[in-house]
Amino acid sequence: MGAFERYPSLRRKLALIIGNDEYNESYNKLENSKKNANDLSASLKTINFDVDTYVDLTRVKFHKHIIEFSKKINDGDLILFYFAGHGFQFNDKNYFIPSDAEIEVDKDVELFGIDAQRTLERFFKKNRSYATIFILDCCKPYLLKNIEKSKIIPNIPRNAHWGLNAYTVAGGRGPGSTFNRLHFPKGLFVNQNQAIFIADSSNHRIIKYNRHAVIGQRLYGQRISGYRLDQLNDPSNVIFDINSKSFIICDNHNRRVLRYFHRRRPYVTTITENIQCYGVAMDNEGSIYVSNAERHEVRRYGADEPYGVVVAGGNGQGRRLQQLSHPTYIFVDKVEA
């Protein structure tokens, strides 16, 4: 038995602690990263860690201190690395963002960021026989410059104004199940005639309000929830496919997406099931997009894609650009973005 195993207190304990708050752009500045770094540093010193603590590091200094710290490591040391600040993910790689980063588009992170995997591998090479603890405290997204500046919604003039006075077009009489009331309405769709189709979730129905009408009409669903094809259970969204003259419905609690043909003899098909669907959208080619809040992803369903193709998320829950967190409503624009 070696000395370290017999006397654990003889093992060296080294820590590199970095906290970045002061980023170049005001909208990326943080408040607690330096405090968290200093607090952890103080705590580690009470249990005999040899701690190197730095705050608001530029890219050059970030690299410098990582290299200097790695040179101190001997095989068998207990190593702890902690970074509080902005992180970023690009091309399946994670990066620390230094305080002087000038990142305008996501690929810039390869120039200005610090590769987290390479940092970890550098420590592993020096310490193969014992533990290396790697803690990343990156809880807020880093905003790119081009995202921050592009606040204008396409096709709406800069000088557009909306009236401050509004009027109720559906419901508004308190919760209820009569046709002049709604109960937890969720998604809606407005057609060219300004008729409104509403996913009236707690009434388990899709209800239609014609323009200026005060009484709605049940389009689909029954008085109670159920799993039959003529029943819904907490529907969350509805849209209309003008090409097939059918409605696409997210039947949330039944975990399915339905296509409903409103004809003299109504007809229903299941597009996909076993999915916690919430939002649904359609592009100009007729492909259907469905958000899955459980799997943190959006899938596209085309004519030849029965299982769908992931077009957003699908990499677990998170704040990275390749991740989503319980996505709900979605919209597809004219260029299929």
pLDDT in tens, 51-79: 999 999 999 999 999 999 999 999 999 99
- Predicted pLDDT at 3: 47
CATH of residue 249: 2.120.10.30
Same domain (yes/no): 119, 18? yes
Same domain (yes/no): 112, 227? no
For the chain, the domain total comes to: 2
**Does 276 fall in a domain?**
yes
Same domain (yes/no): 121, 223? no
Three-state SS string across 73-115, please? Answer: CCCCCEEEEEEECCEEEECCEEEECCCCCCCCCHHHHHHHCEE
**Does 116 fall in a domain?**
yes
Please provide the distance, in angstroms rounded to a whole number, between the alpha carbons at the two ends of the chain: 62
- Tell me what percent of the residues of the chain surpass a pLDDT of 90: 60
**Does 65 fall in a domain?**
yes
Which residue range is the domain that position 64 belongs to? 7-148
- Predicted pLDDT at 134: 92
- Predicted pLDDT at 153: 45
- Predicted pLDDT at 260: 94
- Predicted pLDDT at 61: 96
**Does 321 fall in a domain?**
no
- Predicted pLDDT at 126: 86
Same domain (yes/no): 193, 98? no
Same domain (yes/no): 200, 136? no
- Predicted pLDDT at 129: 74
Same domain (yes/no): 232, 111? no
Same domain (yes/no): 137, 201? no
Same domain (yes/no): 143, 12? yes
**Does 261 fall in a domain?**
yes
Same domain (yes/no): 36, 134? yes
CATH of residue 88: 3.40.50.1460
**Does 32 fall in a domain?**
yes
From residue 268, alpha-carbon distances to 39, 228, 263, 306 in Å are 60, 10, 10, 17
Same domain (yes/no): 289, 205? yes
Residues of the chain with pLDDT under 70: 1-9, 145-159, 164, 335, 337
